[in-house]
């Protein structure tokens, strides 16, 4: 029970102070789960991050489910997921109740304009950290850049990009093995 309360509190705090959605939560989750509490290793965190991105559903909830389950099975999953979702629900409920009364004020508009660049940074930082952990270097940096351009500029489905990257990675490894044998 103690673990579940700690999971709920940790993920509630993360959910309460994260603006910008699931990807903006990554640095806070990593800080709490890997560095502060040491519930997961950095590699376990990256693995959960990858699985969470590739499973259907809300990204932040997926992360909470996987981390909670790893630490305290079903009760941990429920506690961490509720901790993640509840702050957003309460904030959105509050905004929905009162937004009509203050949305026209320039101060409110300027606050939201100021938050946007910070959200971009919150998304960029974990991207670079994951790239470093995944072994992205000067020899293979072209792969994520090309993948991004194919998805963004050409409108190719990320599913096809992932399948092609996997097939090319497999083929490249086999070619390398053949060269070593000869």
H helix intervals, 103-153: 106-133, 142-152
Contacting residues for 11 by C-beta, under 8 A, at least 6 apart:
64, 68, 79, 80, 81, 82, 83, 84
pTM exceeds 0.85? no
pLDDT digits (tens, 9 = 90+) for 39-55: 999 999 999 998 998 88
- Rounded distance between C-alpha atoms, residue 77 and residue 142, angstroms: 37
CA distances in angstroms from 5 to 19, 23, 29, 159, listed in the order given? 23, 24, 16, 37
Are the beta carbons of 71 and 7 closer than 8 angstroms? yes
Instruction: Report residue 86 as tokens.
Output: 């509840």
pLDDT digits (tens, 9 = 90+) for 95-136: 778 777 776 788 877 887 888 888 888 778 878 888 888 888
Tell me, what's the pLDDT at 20?
A: 67
**Apex CA 83: angle with CA 127 and CA 52, to 5°?**
35
């Amino acid at each position: 029970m103690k673990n579940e309360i700690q999971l709920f509190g940790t993920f509630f705090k993360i959910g309460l102070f994260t603006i910008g959605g699931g990807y903006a939560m990554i640095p806070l989750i990593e800080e709490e789960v890997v560095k502060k509490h040491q519930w997961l290793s950095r590699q376990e965190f990256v693995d959960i991050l990858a699985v969470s991105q590739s499973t259907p559903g809300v990204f932040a909830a997926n992360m909470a489910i996987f981390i909670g389950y790893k630490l305290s099975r079903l009760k941990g999953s429920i506690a961490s997921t509720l901790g993640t979702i509840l702050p957003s629900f309460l904030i959105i409920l509050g905004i929905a109740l009162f937004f009509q009364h203050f949305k026209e004020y320039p101060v409110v508009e300027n606050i939201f304009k100021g938050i946007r660049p910070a959200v971009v940074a919150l998304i960029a930082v974990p991207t670079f950290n994951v790239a470093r952990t995944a072994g992205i270097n000067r020899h293979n940096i072209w792969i994520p850049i090309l993948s991004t351009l194919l998805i963004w500029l050409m409108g190719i489905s990320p599913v096809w990009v992932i399948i092609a990257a996997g097939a090319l990675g497999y083929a490249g490894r086999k070619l390398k093995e053949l060269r070593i044998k000869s």
